[in-house]
Structure 1
Amino acid sequence: MTWMEWYNTLSKPDWTPSPGTISLIWQILYPIILISFGYVFYQTARRRYPAATAVPFAINLIANLSFTPLFFGLRNVPLATLDILVVWSTILWIIYRIWPRSRWVALAQIPYLIWVSIATTIQVSIFWMN
């Protein structure tokens, strides 16, 4: 069974956006993430920011990129749920950590936080419903 067939068999909240809508949201968010995270990694590499500043960004990036293989590849709903909780919590950590150094980077994470809050609620619901 394809990943889409598998996904369609899962019980989901009635208000779950369509896969096309989810894709569009990520198409908007990924450039924001690329620019803001890239800026932080660049500033860290140039030693303008302490290395610890980049830690939540790195953890978030790894967790974000891990979600699709965990959920759709391995079809491991519990592990994907744990993963998205890591994504969500590291966004909060990112905002807290970067605010004193670069407020534009912190503010750029707000749409990401809003979407991941919604996605986390959906994922936790999928976990409980299945």
Structure 2
Amino acid sequence: MSWMEWYNNLVKPSWTPDPATIGMVWQVLYPIILATFFFVMIQAVRKKLPWRVTWPFVINLIANFAFTPIQFGLQSLILAALDILLVWGSIIWMMVAIWKHYKWVALAQIPYLVWVSIASVLQLSISWYNL
């Protein structure tokens, strides 16, 4: 069964966004995520930022990129739910870690945090409905 057939056969909440909407949101968020990630990395290389501040950014990027292969490749709802919670938690960690250094980077994460909060509730709902 293809990933699309698998996903379409899952029980989902009535408020589940259309896949095109989800894709559009990520097209807006990925440039923000990548720009702030590279800014933080460059500042760490220049020694303007402690390396420990980069950890949540690295963890977040890895967890974010891992979600699609976990959800649609492995078709594992439970692992995808755990992964999205890691993404969500690491966004908060990123915002706290960078706040005293570059407030604008923390504030730039707000749309990402809002979307991943919605996506987390959606993923947890889908996981629960399809146990």
> Does TM, normalized by the shorter one, top 0.5?
yes
Which residue does 1:94 correspond to in 2? 94
Runs of 4+ in 1 over 6 A off after TM superposition: none
Alignment of 1:60-75 (within 5 A): 60-75=60-75
Match of 1:54 in 2: 54
Unmatched runs of 5 consecutive residues or more in structure 2: none
Structure 1 CA distance, aligned partners of 2:122 and 2:33? 21
Q: Give 3-state SS (helix, strand or coil) of 2:11's partner.
A: coil
After TM superposition, the score normalised by the length of structure 1 is 0.98
How far is 1:45 from its partner? Answer: 1.4
User: Alpha-carbon deviation of 1:46?
Assistant: 1.5
Residues matched between the structures, number: 130
Deviations 1:50-103 (A, max 9, x none): 110000000000000000000000001100100000000000001111010001
List alignment gaps of at least 5 residues for structure 1.
Answer: none
| Identical pairs, percent | 58
Structure 2: distance between partners of 1:91 and 1:20: 24
Q: Please provide the CA RMSD for this pair.
A: 0.5
Which residue is 2:124 aligned to?
124
SS at match of 1:17: coil
2-side partners of 1:5 and 1:118: how far apart?
23
| Alpha-carbon distance in 1 for matches of 2:33, 2:104 | 12
CA distance in 2, matches of 1:41, 1:16: 35
Match of 1:13 in 2: 13
AA aligned opposite 1:58: V
Q: CA deviation at 1:6?
A: 0.7
